[in-house]
Chain A
Amino acid sequence: MMQFIHKYGSPKYFYQWSYGWQRWLTVITVLLLGFGLYQGFFVAPPDYQQGESYRIIFIHVPAAWMSMFVYMVMAVSGIVALVWRIKVAEIVIGESAVIGASFTALALITGMLWGKPMWGTYWVWDARLTSELVLLFLYFGVIALHGAFEDPRTGAKAAAILAIVGIINIPIIKYSVEWWSTLHQPATVAKFDKPSMHISMLIPLLVMALAFKTYFMALLFARTRTEVLAREKNASWVKEVVEQES
């Protein structure tokens, strides 16, 4: 087990095996995205209450799911980095923080755009919106801390500790916000009653969710590979790689 982790986590070996993954994941992402977007935007019927504007959920919901998922990935790689001192895991923390923050921002922005025609306002201090916003703040904290150190390895370790403390705190924050909002502020804006989803809408949504996952992994591989090269620039294998590819 340990041998396995160290072998696949060594920068050189990672760089080799991740290439195939990155390529295939990119291909799958393009296919899934194409299919999901076509189904979602052209095939799925308009909603009987919301008309066409509900279609933003095909972007919004997967992005919101990813915002949590990426934080998990970040915290787990934080644990791996702290316990086994795997260099690649340290890089994954910083790279996934940036991607996760982008997903969170995307979920917030698409939600606001959807909220204006549906709720009549861009922003409601609703539990889910608020906890998503707090999640964005947590990402900002990790990114800021990661970038503040001159030595990227120290920065990664500090960010790892913060991510792990955060992962314990996220459920607490989430439930406290939910409780605060339900007791404090009953829905003042008419909330639409979610109709149970028809299969023609559900399939594109799930396809899009899968596409976002493969997109995240492809992007993470690409960014991590680049960063591995940058950090290991003095190693002899990097020189070979660069000479081969140029």
Chain B
Amino acid sequence: MLAIRRRRELSNPLVFFVIVVSLFPLGVSPDQDLLSKMAPGVIWVTALLATLMSMDAMFRSDYDDGSLEQLLLLPGPKILLIGAKITAHWLSIGLPLVILAPLMSLLLYFPTHAIGSLVITLLISTPILSLLGSVGVALTLSLRSGGILSSLLILPFYIPVLIFSTMAINASANSLPVSGYYALLGAFLIVSALLIPFAVVAALKVSYN
């Protein structure tokens, strides 16, 4: 809810996403074949970076004004609170990215019949990005320069998501079966949704040490 009140901050990572994607044709070449081949990778890497940029907003302002500490003191399971935070983050960043990505893929001449798989992989995987990212943010909350550090910690963990998603999109662009990739990504989502909130609670405890 708070995010809606700060619309500018909310839209910054999305604008970043749009700008960076459109930099690639300028920087590499406007060649249609090359761009359509690169499109899944470009969109995915840019989506990763945009998610990372927005990660800091998940706990930072609540930490600074002390409300996070109050929330953690509430009775009841802390896992629910963390889950709500992560869901809110996904709704404010992940979902808009899912909606924006097909549009940007057109700018990169991505074959239209594969756009469906692009949307599906983003839909399954952006929650994973929010989940994994929350660990990094929670660990670096009490640090002044936490933002860049948490990106360093989290990016290696994003590698499997990146690999499976781009493989799925490429397979779909070549009209190969893709359901196996979706299943793997889905499994990854379930496992991280089950385990990561516990890690986040532990990390927040360390930050409040």
Inter-chain contacts of A144 with B (CB < 8 A): 149, 152-153
Inter-chain contacts of B15 with A (CB < 8 A): none
Residues 165 to 222 of chain A near chain B (Cβ within 8 Å): 165-166, 168-169, 172-173, 176-177, 179-180, 183-184
B156 touches A172 (CB 8 A): no
Q: Does B16 reach chain A (CB closer than 8 Å)? A: no
Assuming the contacts A154-B206, A161-B139, asked whether A172 and B188 have C-beta atoms less than 8 A apart, the reply is yes
The 10 closest A-B pairs by CB, nearest first: A176-B160, A141-B153, A137-B156, A180-B163, A157-B206, A176-B163, A158-B139, A154-B209, A158-B206, A172-B160
| A168–B192 alpha-carbon span in the complex (Å) | 10
| A140–B156 alpha-carbon span in the complex (Å) | 10
Q: Does A44 reach chain B (CB closer than 8 Å)? A: no
Q: Does B81 reach chain A (CB closer than 8 Å)? A: no
Count of A-B residue pairs with CB < 8 Å: 71
Inter-chain contacts of A138 with B (CB < 8 A): 156
Residues 132 to 149 of chain B near chain A (Cβ within 8 Å): 135, 139-140, 142-143, 145, 149
Q: Does A113 reach chain B (CB closer than 8 Å)? A: no
Give 10 A-B pairs besides A154-B206, A158-B139 with Cβ atoms closer than 8 angstroms: A144-B149, A148-B149, A153-B209, A158-B207, A161-B202, A161-B206, A165-B196, A169-B157, A173-B160, A180-B163
B135 touches A141 (CB 8 A): no
Q: Does A149 reach chain B (CB closer than 8 Å)? A: yes
Partner of A173, one of B142, B149, B159, B196: B159
Q: Does B203 reach chain A (CB closer than 8 Å)? A: yes
Q: Of all chain A residues, which has the CB nearest B181? A: A179
B135 touches A173 (CB 8 A): no
A168 touches B202 (CB 8 A): no
In the assembled complex, the CB of A157 is this many whole angstroms from the nearest CB of chain B, namely: 5
A180 touches B167 (CB 8 A): yes
Q: Does B24 reach chain A (CB closer than 8 Å)? A: no
Query: In which size bucket is the chain B interface?
Result: 20 to 34
Q: Of all chain A residues, which has the CB nearest B205? A: A157
| A83–B159 alpha-carbon span in the complex (Å) | 29
Inter-chain contacts of B209 with A (CB < 8 A): 151, 153-154, 157
Inter-chain contacts of A173 with B (CB < 8 A): 156-157, 159-160
Assuming the contacts A144-B149, A144-B152, A145-B149, asked whether A162 and B160 have C-beta atoms less than 8 A apart, the reply is no
| A166–B159 alpha-carbon span in the complex (Å) | 12
Q: Does A129 reach chain B (CB closer than 8 Å)? A: no
Query: In which size bucket is the chain A interface?
Result: 20 to 34
26 contacts between A and B (CB under 8 A): A82-B202, A137-B155, A137-B156, A141-B153, A144-B149, A145-B149, A148-B145, A148-B149, A151-B209, A154-B142, A158-B139, A158-B140, A158-B207, A161-B199, A161-B203, A162-B135, A165-B157, A168-B195, A169-B157, A172-B160, A176-B159, A176-B160, A176-B163, A176-B164, A179-B167, A180-B163
B153 touches A145 (CB 8 A): yes
Q: Does A134 reach chain B (CB closer than 8 Å)? A: yes
Q: Which residue numbers of B lie inside 8 Å of A, CB to CB?
A: 135, 139-140, 142-143, 145, 149, 152-153, 155-157, 159-160, 163-164, 167, 188, 195-196, 199, 202-203, 206-207, 209
| A141–B143 alpha-carbon span in the complex (Å) | 15
Task: Identify the interface centre among A137, A151, A177: most chain B CB within 10 Å of its CB.
Answer: A137
Residues 115 to 160 of chain A near chain B (Cβ within 8 Å): 134, 137-138, 140-141, 144-145, 148-149, 151, 153-154, 157-158
A149 touches B143 (CB 8 A): yes
Inter-chain contacts of B203 with A (CB < 8 A): 158, 161
| A151–B206 alpha-carbon span in the complex (Å) | 11
| A162–B195 alpha-carbon span in the complex (Å) | 13
Inter-chain contacts of B202 with A (CB < 8 A): 82, 161
Inter-chain contacts of B157 with A (CB < 8 A): 165-166, 169, 173
Inter-chain contacts of A137 with B (CB < 8 A): 155-156
Inter-chain contacts of A148 with B (CB < 8 A): 140, 143, 145, 149
Assuming the contacts A138-B156, A141-B156, A176-B160, asked whether A165 and B167 have C-beta atoms less than 8 A apart, the reply is no
Inter-chain contacts of A180 with B (CB < 8 A): 163, 167
A179 touches B152 (CB 8 A): no
